């Protein structure tokens, strides 16, 4: 049985036969090939090499800014190099550290009284933070700063800079995937009630675990104003 999924430059193909799974992930001209049967992987590599000019990099170590490290403890995913480059580009190296990505007592406001900042620079910074959340779920909540990309103010820029100061002190944080002896699915959900003082909307978030490993997480402001807890 074959499965294919495509979204723009992303193409995911995996083939399942009997108890074996082969996965081929393609993004523009970068490709990951993995599966249970090493012989079939080699056969597919040979067929692709016969049709296209391919440079094989052997074991997966780096893909689209994400670093992969295999050890006895499990598989680590991180974006250490991406973070260091981001700190260098934003000139954050000489500043103090932040212990949390957001102010626990602070609230995001529209900031009409705060001076405006460069919109293009703010948008680029938020876009990079969104991409970084692929391996750093602990900054996912800060992506709410994207709601101000059309009219960013100094108060929003300061909040984004705080995220950078937090990353500066935790650049090597990563995700660990390892066997836990089970394949249970666990999902945790949370929501604040009218947490945004800008439009009184709630923000919901969830994370799901498969076999004790975090696999998906999401943070989103609700589309409508909650008027009841029912």
Question: What is this structure's pTM?
Answer: 0.76
Q: pLDDT of 11-21, one tens digit each?
A: 544 454 455 66
Give tens-digit pLDDT for 8-64.
Answer: 555 544 454 455 667 788 888 888 888 777 888 888 888 888 888 888 877 888 888
Which residues share a beta bridge with 218? Answer: 206
Widest distance between CA atoms in the chain = 64
Q: In whole angstroms, what is the distance from residue 169 CA to residue 192 CA?
A: 28
What is the structure's pLDDT at 17? 46
State pLDDT tens for residues 198-214.
Answer: 777 888 889 999 999 99
């Amino acid at each position: 049985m074959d499965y294919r999924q495509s979204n723009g430059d992303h193409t995911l193909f995996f083939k399942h036969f009997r108890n074996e799974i082969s996965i081929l992930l393609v993004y523009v001209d970068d490709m990951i090939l993995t599966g249970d049967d090493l012989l079939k992987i080699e056969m597919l590599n040979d067929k692709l090499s016969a049709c296209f000019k391919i440079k094989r990099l052997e074991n997966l170590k780096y893909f689209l800014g994400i670093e992969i490290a295999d050890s006895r403890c499990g598989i680590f995913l991180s974006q250490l190099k991406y973070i260091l480059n981001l700190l260098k580009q934003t000139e954050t190296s000489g500043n103090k550290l932040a212990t949390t990505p957001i102010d626990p007592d602070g609230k995001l406001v529209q900031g009409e009284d705060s001076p405006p900042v460069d919109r293009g620079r703010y948008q680029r910074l938020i876009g990079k933070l969104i991409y970084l959340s692929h391996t750093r779920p602990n900054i996912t909540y800060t992506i709410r700063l994207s709601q101000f990309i059309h009219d960013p103010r100094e108060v929003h820029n300061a909040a984004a800079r705080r995220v950078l100061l937090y990353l500066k002190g935790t650049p090597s944080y990563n995700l660990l995937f390892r066997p836990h002896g089970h394949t249970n699915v666990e999902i945790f959900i949370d929501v604040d009630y009218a947490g945004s003082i800008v439009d009184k909307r709630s923000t919901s978030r969830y994370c799901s675990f498969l076999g004790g490993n975090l696999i998906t997480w999401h943070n989103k402001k609700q589309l409508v104003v909650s008027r009841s807890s029912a």
